[in-house]
């Protein structure tokens, strides 16, 4: 009888997974998830890791007020300003919004106007009822002009299709002043050239979050221009010529800081299509990209190709779950495949961190490295699903380091610029994690040299003081507590890679530095605290307080004191043992606080007690209980986060999506394991949130996860099997996943308090002592 039941269960599971295969995985993706609230995602079109991201922008604000519009679009808005071609996905800071196009007819308006009075400018009202967003395709109707806009893209180009009302003359407005975040004096210089009756090219140099960024473009129309005007709103360059207002010319060339243009077409031959390509190098590169990637005018073919590309990428994961679960998970997977983005022309040329144009040698150059966020889970996810791309991303980071004036790996870089945003030198974590998992690097020796160089650049982020004092003194460098903790973890990853390569001296030196977290632990309060250069902790101290530029980075003591992912065993000992450690973890999730003490820090979001899932320093914390032998508490906390903070609505992401990190956390947690310490080759077991998942690995192998008896009541793990054998430990190793196989969780309604309780079954003590760990590289 038991055999028959098992057969029936297997058939049901296999049938369900097969049935989901009949529906394209792209049909489950909802790009509107995260466009509301604080997710900061965009609904427009890009290809996997595509260089161009064409999407609607709904508002233009100053840096001081623009936080909700970091992606240019916000679901709560009711007007669209236009459609620009570069966007960040989920960031808490912004730039881009290049080359804004807006179709119109009738009266020319050269300013976007105000959202409260859309008729005051060229913006238009819109409704979500007429809006569609899917991977590879976006559509909306502009209600004021009754123009239907459709968008799609290739890797470096976009295509627009505008369907105008019958009987009107089609027109298109180009705004080279528009930008996401209106920095004062942002446009350094721009140019528009009307090359012929269907082609327009140009560039603009922008001084925004990126100090000096160049974007070049080519625009082609599907039918001839019958009339046009180039508008220069910068009168300062015409002093002495008697020009008092904006200069409007139909001469085919305009240069200046505030350029705009309009183009008119014949009424017949609807619809009007527009192709746009971009380059970070020159206009020649933009034109070549367009010729190579989109020589024709078949909009539907571009859409189909884009959707086929997304279908192939997203099919690397197959799941069985409810409709809501599939929509949420596949959208998360979609978001993890947007950044980093390709940053080079089809001929391999790219602009480097030194401002010069280089040729990529046997690698694809990438940009948009939000490493303070993505080292935690996104890049570890890539070691499973995008190993070849991850190798190219690492090579892109290494050439950045070679071209950088400070010889540092990227911190937060995009479009050939370093912003120096956030803290740490987390490129070292990405490199070490990939290397230790067996991913091929072009030159590991040079990679290690770049890692060491980044870690000892004295003028960066208080490293001079860190190397002198063994911590970052708060009276000499802001955010000293966070920097000490993050530098110590980064140093551990350097030591791990150095040891694996046989570089004993380097390993020993950085293992010593990896212990520096101990220097800021306060035994009395049991918090990690900011310490002054005289050796005393800064007073007064309130573990609830958070402020930008304070003791911690976008967090408080409650949230940051757990950041010792490389040595939780040491942290447990510092806090007084297993019980004291887990009790304090419980407090984190339950203690109420005065929100006024961190109200000014926008990034503290998704709160459960003082746990802030909306910000990355909290992402590993729920997975720390197994290190104290209480894995069942991790299962409880994850259930709180997953069911309480995530959903499939526009507000369904509990904080900034942050270039894929938030979604990578969601994916790993849905599978049932998480990389607490990238560089360890371990994943800590939580609990699965899907009935079944199958991961297709790069070499053709598959890893399957099954949750038996999963239900709303059965939130605990009763037991685990790996390839049919009991798994009593609360972690799984990378080599066990990439070998292919099956991980089975047997769920119950009551906690199994004995699973993983013994020391031998807990996650390895990821010690900072090289003598206690044997380093072996994983297998691809």
Could you give the CA distance from residue 278 to residue 289 in angstroms, rounded to a whole number?
7
Cis before 208? omega within 30: no
Burial tier of 137 (Cβ tally within 10 Å: 0-12, 13-18, 19+): buried
How large is the average pLDDT for residues 233-255? Answer: 65
Could you give the CA distance from residue 673 to residue 742 in angstroms, rounded to a whole number?
13
Which positions ≥6 away from 675 have C-beta within 8 Å?
A: 376, 377, 380, 433, 668, 682, 683, 684
Band (pLDDT 50/70/90 cuts) for residue 592 is confident
Which positions ≥6 away from 2 have C-beta within 8 Å?
A: none
Band (pLDDT 50/70/90 cuts) for residue 236 is low
Could you give the CA distance from residue 73 to residue 60 in angstroms, rounded to a whole number?
10
Could you tell me the domains of the chain? 31-297 (2.70.98.10), 320-772 (1.20.1610.10)
Shortest CA distance to 657 belongs to which of 666, 669, 670, 648?
666
Q: Is the pLDDT of residue 494 over 60?
A: yes
* Strand spans (E) along 609-739: 611-612, 673-674, 682-685, 692-696, 702-708, 716-722, 725-726, 731-733
* Strand spans (E) along 323-399: 341-342, 349-351, 357-359, 366-367, 369-370
Give me the DSSP letters along 478-520. TTHHHHHHHHHHHHHHHHHHHHHTT-HHHHHHHHHHHTGGGGG
Shortest CA distance to 716 belongs to which of 642, 638, 623, 643?
638
Q: Is the pLDDT of residue 3 over 70?
A: no
Q: So what's the pLDDT on residue 368?
A: 98
pTM: 0.95
* Separation in Å, CA 234 to CA 184, 188, 200, 201, 247: 13, 11, 21, 20, 8
Could you give the CA distance from residue 384 to residue 508 in angstroms, rounded to a whole number?
30
Could you give the CA distance from residue 511 to residue 506 in angstroms, rounded to a whole number?
9
Could you give the CA distance from residue 97 to residue 94 in angstroms, rounded to a whole number?
9
Q: So what's the pLDDT on residue 599?
A: 84
Q: Are 754 and 726 in contact (CB under 8 A)?
A: no
Could you give the CA distance from residue 382 to residue 361 in angstroms, rounded to a whole number?
22
Could you give the CA distance from residue 383 to residue 609 in angstroms, rounded to a whole number?
33
Shortest CA distance to 182 belongs to which of 34, 72, 42?
72
Higher pLDDT, 532 or 593: 532
Q: So what's the pLDDT on residue 66?
A: 83
Q: Is the pLDDT of residue 254 over 60?
A: yes
* Separation in Å, CA 572 to CA 467, 520, 521, 526, 682: 25, 15, 12, 10, 19
Phi, psi angles (nearest 5°) of residue 28? -85, -15
Say whether 439 sits in a helix, a strand or coil.
coil
How large is the average pLDDT for residues 20-42? Answer: 89
Q: So what's the pLDDT on residue 313?
A: 98
Which positions ≥6 away from 422 have C-beta within 8 Å?
A: 370, 371, 372, 373, 411, 412, 553
Band (pLDDT 50/70/90 cuts) for residue 774 is low
Band (pLDDT 50/70/90 cuts) for residue 61 is confident
Higher pLDDT, 64 or 463: 463
Q: Is the pLDDT of residue 9 over 60?
A: no
Could you give the CA distance from residue 345 to residue 284 in angstroms, rounded to a whole number?
10
**Encoded tokens for 410:** 């990227």
Strand partners, 607: 612
Q: How far apart are the first and last CA of the chain?
A: 42
Q: What is the 3-state secondary structure (H, E, C) of 381-408?
A: HHHHHCHHHHHHHHHHHHHHHHHCCCCC
Please provide the size of the chain in residues: 780
Phi, psi angles (nearest 5°) of residue 182? -90, 80
Measured in whole angstroms, the distance separating CA 323 from the mean position of its chain's CA atoms is: 25
Q: So what's the pLDDT on residue 234?
A: 80
Cβ atoms within 10 Å of 594's Cβ, excluding its own: 10
Q: Is the pLDDT of residue 684 over 60?
A: yes
């Amino acid at each position: 009888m038991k055999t028959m039941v098992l057969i029936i269960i297997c058939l049901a599971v296999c049938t369900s997974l097969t049935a989901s295969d009949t529906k394209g995985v792209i049909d489950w993706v909802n790009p509107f998830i995260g466009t509301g609230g604080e997710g900061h995602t965009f609904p427009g079109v890009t290809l996997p890791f595509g260089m161009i991201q064409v999407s609607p922008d709904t508002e233009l604000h100053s840096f001081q007020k623009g936080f909700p519009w970091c992606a240019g679009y916000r679901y709560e808005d009711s007007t669209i300003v236009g459609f620009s071609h570069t966007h960040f996905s989920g960031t808490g800071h912004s730039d881009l919004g290049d080359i804004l196009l807006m179709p119109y007819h009738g009266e020319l308006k050269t300013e976007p106007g105000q959202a409260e009075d859309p008729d005051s400018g060229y913006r238009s009202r819109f409704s979500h009822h007429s809006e569609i967003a899917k991977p590879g395709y976006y559509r909306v109707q502009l209600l004021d002009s009754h123009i239907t806009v459709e968008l799609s893209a290739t890797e470096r180009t976009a295509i627009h299709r505008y369907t105008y009302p019958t009987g009107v003359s089609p027109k298109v407005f180009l705004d080279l002043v528009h930008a996401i975040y209106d920095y004062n004096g942002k446009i350094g210089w721009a140019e528009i050239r009307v090359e012929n009756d269907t082609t327009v090219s140009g560039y603009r140099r922008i001084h925004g979050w990126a100090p000096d960024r160049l974007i070049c473009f080519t625009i082609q129309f599907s039918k001839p221009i019958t009339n046009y005007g180039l508008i220069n709103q910068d009168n300062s360059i015409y002093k002495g010529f008697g020009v008092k207002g904006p200069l409007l010319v139909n001469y085919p060339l305009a240069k200046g800081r505030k350029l705009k243009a309009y183009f008119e077409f014949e009424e017949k031959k609807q619809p009007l299509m527009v192709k746009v390509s971009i380059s970070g190098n020159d206009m020649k590169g933009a034109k070549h990209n367009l010729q190579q990637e989109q020589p024709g005018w078949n909009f539907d073919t571009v859409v189909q190709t884009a959707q086929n590309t997304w279908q192939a990428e997203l099919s690397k994961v197959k799941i069985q779950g409810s409709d809501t679960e599939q929509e949420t998970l596949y959208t998360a997977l979609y978001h993890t495949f947007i950044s980093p983005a390709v940053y080079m022309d089809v001929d391999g040329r790219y602009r480097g961190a030194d401002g010069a144009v280089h040729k990529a040698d046997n690698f694809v150059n990438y940009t948009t490295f939000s490493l303070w966020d993505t080292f935690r889970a996104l890049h570890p996810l890539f070691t499973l699903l995008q190993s070849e791309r991850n190798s190219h991303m690492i090579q892109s980071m290494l050439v950045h380091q070679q071209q950088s004036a400070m010889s540092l790996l990227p911190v937060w870089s995009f479009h050939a610029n370093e912003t120096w945003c956030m803290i740490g030198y987390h490129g070292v974590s990405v490199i070490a994690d990939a290397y230790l998992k067996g991913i091929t690097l072009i030159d590991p020796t040079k990679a290690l040299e770049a890692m060491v160089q980044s870690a000892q650049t004295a003028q960066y982020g208080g490293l001079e003081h860190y190397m002198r004092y063994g911590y970052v003194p708060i009276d000499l460098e802001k955010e000293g507590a966070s920097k000490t903790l993050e530098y110590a973890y980064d140093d551990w990853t350097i030591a791990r890679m150095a040891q694996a390569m046989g570089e004993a001296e380097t390993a020993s030196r950085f293992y010593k530095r990896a212990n520096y977290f101990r220097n800021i632990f306060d035994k009395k309060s049991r918090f990690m605290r900011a310490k002054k250069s005289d050796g005393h902790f800064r007073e007064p101290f309130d573990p609830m307080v958070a402020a930008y530029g304070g003791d911690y980075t976008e967090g408080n003591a409650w949230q940051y004191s757990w950041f010792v992912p490389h040595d939780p065993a040491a942290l447990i000992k510092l806090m007084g043992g297993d019980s004291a450690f887990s009790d304090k973890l419980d407090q984190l999730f339950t203690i109420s606080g005065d929100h006024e003490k961190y109200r000014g820090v926008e990034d503290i979001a998704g709160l459960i007690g003082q746990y802030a899932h909306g910000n990355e320093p909290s992402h590993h914390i729920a997975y720390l209980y197994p290190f104290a032998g209480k894995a069942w508490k991790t299962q409880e906390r994850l259930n709180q986060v997953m069911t309480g903070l995530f959903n499939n609505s526009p507000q369904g992401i509990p904080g900034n999506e942050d270039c894929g990190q938030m979604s990578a956390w969601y994916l790993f947690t849905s599978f049932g394991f998480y990389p607490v310490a990238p560089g360890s080759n371990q994943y800590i077991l939580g609990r699965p949130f899907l009935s079944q998942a199958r991961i297709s690995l790069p070499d053709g192998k598959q890893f399957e996860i099954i949750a038996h008896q999963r239900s709303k009541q059965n939130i605990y793990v009763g037991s685990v099997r790996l390839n049919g054998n009991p798994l009593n430990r609360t972690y799984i190793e990378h080599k066990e996943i990439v070998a292919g196989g099956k991980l089975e969780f047997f769920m119950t309604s009551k906690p199994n308090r004995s699973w993983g309780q013994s020391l031998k079954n807990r996650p390895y003590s990821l010690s900072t002592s090289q003598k206690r760990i044997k380093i072996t590289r994983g297998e691809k």
